[in-house]
Amino acid sequence: MIYQPSSERYNQMRYRRCGKSGIKLPEISLGLWHNFGHVDVMENFRKILHLAFDSGITHFDLANNYGPPPGSAEENFGRILKADFRGYRDEMIISSKAGYTMWDGPYGDWGSKKYLVASLDQSLKRMGLDYVDIFYHHRPDPETPLEETMAALDLIVRQGKALYAGISNYPAAEAAKAIAMLKDMGTPCLIHQPKYSMFVRESEEGLLDVLGENGVGCIPFSPLAQGLLTNKYLHGIPEDSRAAKSTGFLQEGQVTEEVVAKVKQLNTLATERGQTLAQMALAWLLKDERVTSVLIGASKPEQLADSLKALDNINFSGEELERIEKILN
């Protein structure tokens, strides 16, 4: 069957302006970090992409190393783009990144101009695209001069291979320098993608201020702290969870009694708000107007549908915010 997007898709989503740019992003964006690789079931992630677009999600976030294996998420996304979304490219914001290990040798990692330009060329081939909307440097490089990395982003935009430049995982001071350099080059930084959730709050230590003052958007990743901010760990560690396998970023040792106690208290508050814990955790990030969009993953369509319900209630009373701070501290 040929996929026909819902005609109601733009009535179901709110969009926020990304910093001081002309771009608006959906309050929830879909990340393809997990569940879209060659090890995953194509029919499942195809349904996730259909539901996302039908729900007004216009922003799809990738990187060169997403999979597994690395590169396979871009290949799979490219296939579905060609088969199902052929006439809808101009309704989408597609992003990719480079900054982590992608191939052997000295030119397949970090932040050199050589690596960033070559990596984006490979990403465009995998996705079958002429350009991406946003291209990010994925993490700061302690050895390459920041000027070189930012000049590479500037070059890529001037070549038309990306419309906008972004940075990810940059702490506040480095982000401020990168933003200033890009501005001087005439290619303003559109957006920053930090790790930010109720449990990971370094972004509040200056980074959000830097972004707000410079008119740069913010799109947090890992908003559910790799699943900790869901009902999955209310009663210990389930056998099928990421923490039990200890193969991903969430290790069994992180699910301590103290963390579980916090999760239970947050879950109680979420229930009082008529939300799941995951929905409240997403809404909590969106309470800050400097946050443009929140990046979520999904392993099945039902999980995405559940996350989207967070948008039904993103307002918090002063008392609720105080309770959350008390629990977290």
pLDDT, one tens digit per residue, over 59-86 is 999 999 999 999 999 999 999 999 999 9
309 assigned to some structural domain: yes
> Residues 221-234: pLDDT tens digits?
999 999 999 998 88
CA distance 140 to 134: 17
Rounded mean pLDDT, 209-222: 98
What is the model's pLDDT at position 247?
56
What is the amino acid identity at position 16? Answer: R
324 within some domain: no
pLDDT digit string, tens, across residues 282-328: 999 999 999 999 999 999 999 999 999 999 999 999 999 999 999 99
Describe the chain by its helix, strand, coil percentages, rounded to 5. 45, 15, 40
Q: Give me the domain span that covers residue 71.
A: 9-232+277-315
Q: Is the pTM of this model over 0.85?
A: yes
More confident residue, 266 or 252: 266
| Interior angle at CA 57, CA 285 and CA 17, nearest 5 | 60
Q: Enumerate the β-bridge partners of residue 199.
A: none
- Checking if the pLDDT of 137 tops 80, the result is yes
pLDDT at 241 over 70: no
The answer as to whether 147 is a domain residue is yes
Q: State pLDDT tens for residues 186-199.
A: 999 999 999 999 99
- What are the tens digits of pLDDT across the range 140-173? 999 999 999 999 999 999 999 999 999 999 999 9
pLDDT at 249: 60
Q: Is residue 240 part of a domain?
A: no
Identify the pLDDT of residue 243.
Answer: 59
Tell whether the model's pLDDT for residue 245 goes beyond 70: no
- Mean pLDDT (whole number) for 209-213: 98
104 is a domain residue: yes
Q: Which of 220, 202, 203, 179 is nearest to 61 (CA)?
A: 220
CATH number at residue 190: 3.20.20.100
Residue ranges in the chain assigned as alpha helix (H): 42-54, 72-84, 113-127, 146-158, 172-185, 207-214, 242-245, 257-272, 277-286, 301-308, 318-328
pLDDT score, position 250: 61
Name the token pair of 40: 């995953």
In this prediction, residue 116 has a pLDDT band, given cuts at 50, 70 and 90, of: very high
Say what the pLDDT of residue 235 is. 78
Question: How far, in Å, CA of 183 to CA of 174, rounded?
Answer: 14
Backbone dihedral region for residue 43 (phi beyond 0: left; psi -120 to 50: alpha; all else: beta):
alpha
| pLDDT at 252 (0 to 100) | 61
**Model confidence at 248: pLDDT above 80:** no
Tell me whether residue 108 is in a domain: yes
pLDDT at 207 over 80: yes
d(CA 308, CA 55): 8
> Is the predicted pLDDT of residue 28 greater than 80, yes or no?
yes
What is the model's pLDDT at position 237?
A: 67
Instruction: Give me 250's structure tokens.
Output: 């969430």
Q: Is the pLDDT of residue 211 over 70?
A: yes
Please state the rounded mean pLDDT for residues 180-189: 98
Residue 126 lies in a domain: yes
> How many domains in the chain?
1
- Amino acid sitting at position 83: A
- Compute the mean pLDDT over every residue in the chain, rounded to the nearest whole number: 95
The model's pLDDT over 256-294, given as tens digits with 9 standing for 90+, comes to: 889 999 999 999 999 999 999 999 999 999 999 999 999
On whether residue 224 sits in a domain, the answer given is yes
- How distant, in Å, are the alpha carbons of 5, 244, 269, 273, 318 from that of 264? 39, 19, 9, 14, 21
Percent of the chain with pLDDT over 70: 95
